[in-house]
A and B are shown apart, each in its own frame.
Chain A
Amino acid sequence: MSVLTHTKLRILLFEGEGSLPLQNRSAILRALLEKGYNVSRVTTGSSPNPEAIQGPILVLGAFKDAPPSESTDDSGKINVYFRDIQGKNGDAIIDLVEGTRDGAAIPKPGGWKPWFPVIDYDRCTDCMQCLSFCLFDVYGVDDKGSIVVQNQDNCKTDCPACSRVCPDVAIMFPKYRHGPMNGAEVKPEDVQREAMKIDISALLGGDIYSALRNRSAKARSRFSKERDDERALKERKKCLNKLKDTLDIPMEVLGALPSLDQIKQRAEEAKLRAEKAIQEQNKDS
């Protein structure tokens, strides 16, 4: 994943000393949150930890005395912007915030793809099945030989296939509809069910890559004899439908799969990486 380390605007919804209570704070918060902003609500007696503040701050409030529109914190390093929002509705406040953000050349929040795997290391046994299985290089191995999510951006939206093949139910997609993949507690029957799904995938020939390879070889043989494109297409469709049904992989992802030769090459590379990681683990233990 390309971790975005850009500067962020920290917003304080201020209702402390020197300000009036806000009448529509819930609507203001909702509008800001929907736009991707994080907001600290500050009330009398509470204050944000000054040591923790690292970026520019925008203070929104109904101020009794007009504050300067721009200042710096005590260190002189952090810009602090003040905006009076008295009597303003959600849209007007968003305009004010966006204008301040643009003026300070701070990137717009949002635009994130809400789909990536999260590993439950209480359950993960570093078996490397996910690394071997994922065709999109989402997984990698850290310097201790443990599995890590390395390229989150490569993950295909709505594809939970790696979680399906995980024998320990250790891979979560928090935005997924159903448990335990969404992070719900894992029950014994869930482990059993996941194991059954792996058995179903074994119906495809022990592992999906070899199944696809075998089908490719069979198809090539048939093509050479019959040149039956329609039959080959049917065969591929059948195989993809089986993957869709058993592993809940969206058709868009299956449709975007690399060619069989590329799958073969990537599977070999992933297998080598997984084997190397397992050898390292064995060496250490």
Chain B
Amino acid sequence: MSESPTIIYCHCAYARVIPAEVKNDVLDTLSESNQAFEAVSDLCEMSARKDPRLKELAAHPQLRIAACYPRAVKWLFASGDADLAEDAKVINMREDSAENICQALLEAE
């Protein structure tokens, strides 16, 4: 398992609650970087379906998750039987700017 941070990007595909320009800019910037990352269609769906992949993702050290409100993301993982580690960092695409989000995702440790 890699020791560098693992980035998870949630596309929130089932709803329009994340501003489209924010999630597209974040996806573009991640894609243009040389960074490996996990792009998931919708964390809510994974949680609701108790997708085993959620547990695999939660097990990564130093998670950086671009999704929505940290309180929602924490309990979405828990509801999918996948507790997030204390050091997991959730970045809120509903509130933050694409620039700040990308900086938080891609900054060196």
Task: Please say whether chains A and B are actual partners in one complex.
Answer: yes
Q: Which of B34-91 contact A (CB under 8 A)?
A: 34-42, 44-53, 56, 59, 68-73, 75-76, 78-79
Of the candidates A8, A26, A179, the one whose C-beta lies within 8 Å of that of B28 is A26
Contact yes or no, B48 A1, CB < 8 A = yes
Q: Which residues of A contact B (CB under 8 A)?
A: 1, 3-5, 8, 10, 25-26, 29-30, 32-43, 45-47, 49, 52, 54, 109-110, 112, 114, 116, 118-121, 149, 152, 172, 174-177, 179, 182-186
Known A-B contacts: A42-B36, A116-B48, A186-B71. Give 5 more (CB < 8 A): A5-B50, A38-B39, A38-B40, A110-B41, A114-B44
User: Does A26 contact B69, Cβ atoms closer than 8 Å?
Assistant: no
Interface class of chain A by DSSP: loop
- B41 adjacent to A175 (CB under 8 Å): no
Q: Is the CB of B27 within 8 A of A29?
A: yes
Q: Is the CB of B49 within 8 A of A118?
A: no
List 10 tightest A-B contacts by C-beta distance, closest first. A183-B72, A46-B36, A183-B69, A114-B14, A26-B31, A33-B11, A52-B56, A175-B15, A174-B72, A38-B40
Contact A172 B71 (CB under 8 A): yes
B-side residues, CB < 8 A to A, are 1-2, 11, 13-15, 17, 24, 27-28, 30-32, 34-42, 44-53, 56, 59, 68-73, 75-76, 78-79, 94
Contact between A182 and B17, CB atoms less than 8 A apart:
yes
* Candidates B36, B39, B47; contact of A29 at CB < 8 Å: B39
Q: A46-B36, A182-B17 are in contact. Are A30 and B27 (CB under 8 A)?
A: yes
Kindly provide the distance from the CB of A173 to the nearest chain B CB, expressed in whole angstroms. Answer: 9
- Knowing A52-B56, A174-B68, say if A114 contacts B15 (CB, 8 Å): yes
Chain B residues with Cβ under 8 A from A47's Cβ? 2
Chain B residues positioned under 8 Å from A8 (CB to CB): 51, 53
A173, closest chain B residue (CB): B72
Report how far A42 CA is from B36 CA in the complex, Å. 5
Which chain B residues border A172 with CB–CB below 8 Å? 71-72, 75
Q: List B contacts of A41 (CB < 8 A).
A: 30-31, 35-39
